[in-house]
Amino acid sequence: MLVLPLLAFILITFVVPIGQMLQRSFYNDGFSAHMPGISQWFAENPRGSEPNDAAWAALADDLLASAEARTIGVVGTRINYDVPGTRSLFTSTGRKVRKGIEPPYREALLEIDEDWGDPRIWSAMRDASRPVTSNFYLAAVDRTRAEDGSIEQVAPRQRIYVMLFMRTFWLSALITVLTFVLGFPVAHLLATLPMRKSNLLMILVLLPFWTSLLVRTTSWMVLLQQQGVINDILVWLGVIGGGQRLQMIYNQTGTIIAMTHILLPFMILPLYSVMRTINPSYVRAARSLGATSWTAFRRIYFPQTLPGLGAGALLVFILAVGYYITPALVGGSSGQLISNMIALHMTDTLNWSMAAALAALLLGSVLVLYWLYDKLVGVDNLKLG
């Protein structure tokens, strides 16, 4: 009974909103709910059927009704997701049909705008006539439906999402490796020092948690820019010339450096919690039996740190996959991750269905990796402290 309030809070404020958001990835009735006539015609006629007089009449009636109900913008926005630039077609046509439209409707609509004869628009309206659709998931993997209903790749210049997914996972894996390389010696030092000194150094490890993420990111901008501190020091030391300043920001380099620093404590803390419990007599026993320092470390000490390493790697990788602020500020065009594209669709294009599809694929990919980790290593072996 004591847990039920917390469970209810999590369900209401976390699980339910995420479920509603993910529903948008396959359910969008922006067209079908406001254009019932033409949606019914699409349901009664198979793909490939040429629009007849009944189809044009249904389209004209729906445009008039939607314009009078002031929902024509919603309808145009839904089709604009599949055929960019068509929202203005619907809104302008809606204003004109409110003044009156007479049969034959085909000629009347084509006179208003000849784009109504474009097969792509009719194919997009057919796909949007069903509220449940897979088009957003297809777009999320750089695929689209052809006019005949087959699935094909989009034009090369429009293939961005698969590249962003690959870049996200690649950079997240690289950052995980870098945090391990940098964090392992620090965690080992913290675990082997006397408690008084260890606690003092632990304050330095935890210090970034007491500083705003935005402040830490903008600090790296000051350090890494071409007229920043690091380049100034390199020029002063004579390592590089004044005209050879390094470009370390607004690219992948800036994203890697800043995110490695920000996520480093998430690797150090699990490693430290495990290293602290390792009995040092094990390594001394191996040395007394003739093992070298490297052999004792490789075969005795390091295997005992794997639970902490697994926990740290999992934490860092999952956090890096979903990071948004740091790549947005220091990443530039080549350092952006898939999370930045999700935010773009949520705040700028307002294509929430596309954002939900990308988020669902990202969530599914992380769950698959988590499942593989459980099969190969075992989640029960994780130790967070």
Please indicate, yes or no, whether residues 142 and 201 belong to a single structural domain of this protein: no
Whether omega for the bond prior to residue 327 falls within 30 degrees of 0, making it cis, is: no
- Per DSSP, what are the bridge partners of residue 102? none
Q: What is the CATH number of the domain that holds 336?
A: 1.10.3720.10
Tens-place pLDDT, residues 218-264? 899 889 888 888 888 888 888 888 788 888 888 888 999 999 999 99
- 3-state secondary structure string across 6-45: HHHHHHHHHHHHHHHHHHCCCECCCCCCCCHHHHHHHHHC
Please indicate, yes or no, whether residues 83 and 227 belong to a single structural domain of this protein: no
Q: Please enumerate in sequence order all residues whose Cβ is within 8 A of that of 13, keeping only pairs 6 or more positions apart, or say none.
A: none
Please indicate, yes or no, whether residues 264 and 190 belong to a single structural domain of this protein: yes
Please indicate, yes or no, whether residues 104 and 174 belong to a single structural domain of this protein: no
Give dist(CA 26, CA 124) in Å, integer. Answer: 15
Q: What pLDDT was estimated at residue 163?
A: 93
Question: 105, 134, 158 — which closes off a domain?
Answer: 158
| Structural domains in the chain (count) | 2
Give dist(CA 24, CA 351) in Å, integer. Answer: 10
Please indicate, yes or no, whether residues 253 and 151 belong to a single structural domain of this protein: no
Please indicate, yes or no, whether residues 219 and 364 belong to a single structural domain of this protein: yes
Question: 135, 158, 181 — which closes off a domain?
Answer: 158
121 token code pair: 């628009």
Give dist(CA 140, CA 154) in Å, integer. Answer: 11
Please indicate, yes or no, whether residues 121 and 197 belong to a single structural domain of this protein: no
Please indicate, yes or no, whether residues 322 and 344 belong to a single structural domain of this protein: yes
Phi, psi of 103 (to 5 degrees): -65, 155
Please indicate, yes or no, whether residues 177 and 110 belong to a single structural domain of this protein: no
**Domain span holding position 202:** 161-381
Q: Give a yes or no: residue 225 inside a domain.
A: yes
Please indicate, yes or no, whether residues 216 and 341 belong to a single structural domain of this protein: yes
Give the burial string for 94-128 (b: 16+ CB within 10 Å, else e): bebbeeebeeebbebbeebeebbeeeebbbbbbbb
Please indicate, yes or no, whether residues 80 and 178 belong to a single structural domain of this protein: no
Please indicate, yes or no, whether residues 203 and 352 belong to a single structural domain of this protein: yes
Q: Please enumerate in sequence order all residues whose Cβ is within 8 A of that of 356, keeping only pairs 6 or more positions apart, or say none.
A: 21, 22, 23, 24, 25, 136
DSSP label at residue 335? S
Q: Give a yes or no: residue 335 inside a domain.
A: yes
Q: Please enumerate in sequence order all residues whose Cβ is within 8 A of that of 118, keeping only pairs 6 or more positions apart, or say none.
A: 83
Q: What pLDDT was estimated at residue 241?
A: 81
Q: Which positions of the chain have pLDDT values less than 50?
A: none
Question: 99, 130, 158 — which closes off a domain?
Answer: 158
Q: Give a yes or no: residue 17 inside a domain.
A: no
